Structure 1
Amino acid sequence: MSTALNETEKKVNFKKPQWLRKKLVPTAQKEMEALLGEHKLYTICQEAKCPNISECFSKKNATFLILGNICTRRCTYCNVHTGKPTEVDLAEIEGVTTSVLKLGLKFVVITSPARDDLKDGGAEQFYRVTKNILKKSPGTQVEILIPDFKAREESLERVVQSGAVIIGHNVETVPSLYHIRRNASYERSLQVLKRLKELGGEKVKTKSALMVGLGEKEEEMVQVFKDLLEVGCKFLSIGQYLAPSGDYEKVKEFVKPEQFERYKKIALDMGFEFVHSTPYARSSYMAHEYLANQK
């Protein structure tokens, strides 16, 4: 059989499967984008080309991206722009809060690109945005999804003091594939999650996320589950990696829904308190559900 035929077969077999074809709601998306544009705000939903954007925007759910939309790292799976970031914009503190109030949000997720150019990695801005939301919308809960801050103790202490009920930091993938995470390390990410839990105690739940479809093996995934539990992380999200374009890491496999269910069962049986494990799960997808079953 010729090489050309093999390549053709690969293309046919690698079409996006039915379970990854999501319905779009463009009208609702435009309404949310108009509000965000009014306050010059960014969302990770837009920057990362999240496949859930229409669904979440139609439900008035969004993950606010603070500290600009330029990342100081160049991970080969992520669509967020890389370059020289702008100065910290203090106006976004009120801008995010105003949007939360206008939308009547009861659960808010705040994240940021990596800001290695800042001494604290942006921890103070996370603190201020969260505190402002809680002050002006006391019925709202806040989850923050942070970069690793290079594991600086002062930065981790500051975000724990913010009042966020969940603090997430994503390990993203298994250790053998960490070459896709530039200027990051698996060990450092575990250290960050461990310290967040130690500092936050029972008041703070920690959360992480994993992508699949990059060539990882089940035994590697299970080992990551063990590692996360050892550092006190009991909330987990598992979703299918989808390349933003041909310039990024290639999808090696479209993981079947049954395997996502298997991962969920394994993780829950091991001791995780809540797991979102579906092809379209992302770290902030349906974030309010993680605390819904807590006592």
Structure 2
Amino acid sequence: MTVKPDWLRVKAPQWERVGNVKEILRDLALNTVCEEASCPNIGECFNVGTATFLIMGPACTRACPYCDIDFEKKPKPLDPTEPARLAQAVRRMRLNHVVITSVNRDDLSDGGASQFVQCITAVRAVSPQTTIEVLIPDLCGNWQALEIILQAAPEVLNHNTETVPRLYRRVRPQGNYERTIELLKITRALSPSTYTKSGIMVGLGETDEEVRQVMQDLRSVDCDILTIGQYLQPSQKHLQVAEFISPDQFAAWQAYGEELGFLQVVSSPLTRSSYHAEQVRELMTRYPRSH
């Protein structure tokens, strides 16, 4: 693998705190994207007692060459106890904000929308003060399934764009750029009170102009929140890093995003789609939407 620059070095976590979070996750038999996708911020997030829960997994029905989540295992039937176990983790971890994401479940008629709803409902029952963010797949363009999720009223709906259109066939071969933009557009139309969010990876060979065009496309459908982070190669079998982007370039994209009118732009080499996600609670205070 390419040698990482100094700005991508991560501080060693306080393993006592990390161990406490891991103990809860193991006790309740839950998956996190922090672990399954080899997130570089796992130490920082576990240290402050947060995690992004990965439901309906860990096996994925798609084989995106950038992602470290397993696609070789056969997906299992949905576990009806998973929502209650997730809710108990939220309670035990005393989370103010929780992110719930999933693998792609193209084998399910609703893409797993019903399981998202069950998880949202379970969390609200045991921790009503916790704000909920769902990071969803594209549901194969099933907008009825999207509406089912939105009817459960998560505060934030996140769907990642991941890369620029030119690179979709190589980076996200089973995805569709126009479908991703359409999902965010329909979310705004169906649920004006929901904050919409998306994220992109850079360092895969895209140009500055292409990144800025994606940002414009997201604002054209009134996307509220944007995350931009450096792609890191999980293993030799994954896509190689084309370029390590400088912190100055990330700062320039953040400034441009703010000019475009995003309510929040989180842009740095180590940013991931759920990085500092709890900051949305402050955003909700500054830019309230009626629920």
TM-score using structure 2 length = 0.95
Q: In structure 2, what is the equivalent of residue 19 of structure 1?
A: 7
1:162 is displaced (CA, Å) by 1.4
Q: In structure 1, what is the equivalent of residue 48 of structure 2?
A: 59
Query: Residue 68 of structure 1 contacts residue 85 of structure 1 at CA under 8 Å; is this kept in 2?
Result: yes
Answering whether residue 217 of structure 2 is matched by residue 227 of structure 1, we say: yes
Q: Provide the secondary structure at the position in 1 that maps to 2:187.
A: helix
Q: In structure 2, what is the equivalent of residue 72 of structure 1?
A: 61
How many Å separate the matches in 2 of 1:285 and 1:260? 15
Paired residues, what number?
282
CA RMSD of aligned residues (A): 1.1
Query: Residue 233 of structure 2 contacts residue 239 of structure 2 at CA under 8 Å; is this kept in 1?
Result: yes
1:194 is displaced (CA, Å) by 0.7
How many Å separate the matches in 1 of 2:49 and 2:153? 23
For residues 1-295 of structure 1, what are the structure 2 equivalents within 5 Å?
Answer: 14-25=2-13, 26-82=15-71, 83-179=73-169, 180-201=171-192, 203-293=193-283, 294-295=286-287
Q: Provide the secondary structure at the position in 1 that maps to 2:277.
A: coil
How many Å separate the matches in 1 of 2:161 and 2:251? 20
The amino acid of 2:88's aligned partner reads T
Bigger relative CO (Cα 8 Å, ≥ 6 apart): 2
TM-score using structure 1 length = 0.93
The amino acid of 2:221's aligned partner reads V
Instruction: Pick the structure with greater CA Rg.
Output: 1
The amino acid of 2:55's aligned partner reads I
Alignment deviations for residues 128-166 of structure 1 (CA, whole Å, 9 cap, x no partner): 100111122111100000000012121110110112100
Query: Residue 157 of structure 1 contacts residue 199 of structure 1 at CA under 8 Å; is this kept in 2?
Result: yes
Structure 1 unmatched ranges of 5 or more = 1-10
Alignment deviations for residues 196-247 of structure 1 (CA, whole Å, 9 cap, x no partner): 111111x101000000111110000111011101112120000000010111
Structure 2 unmatched ranges of 5 or more = none
Q: Provide the secondary structure at the position in 1 that maps to 2:166.
A: helix
1:265 is displaced (CA, Å) by 0.3
The amino acid of 2:68's aligned partner reads N
How many Å separate the matches in 1 of 2:60 and 2:17? 28
Query: Residue 88 of structure 2 contacts residue 126 of structure 2 at CA under 8 Å; is this kept in 1?
Result: no
The amino acid of 1:55's aligned partner reads E
Query: Residue 131 of structure 1 contacts residue 163 of structure 1 at CA under 8 Å; is this kept in 2?
Result: no
1:291 is displaced (CA, Å) by 3.6
Q: Provide the secondary structure at the position in 2 that maps to 1:238.
A: strand
The amino acid of 1:231's aligned partner reads V
Runs ≥4 in structure 1, deviation > 4 angstroms? none
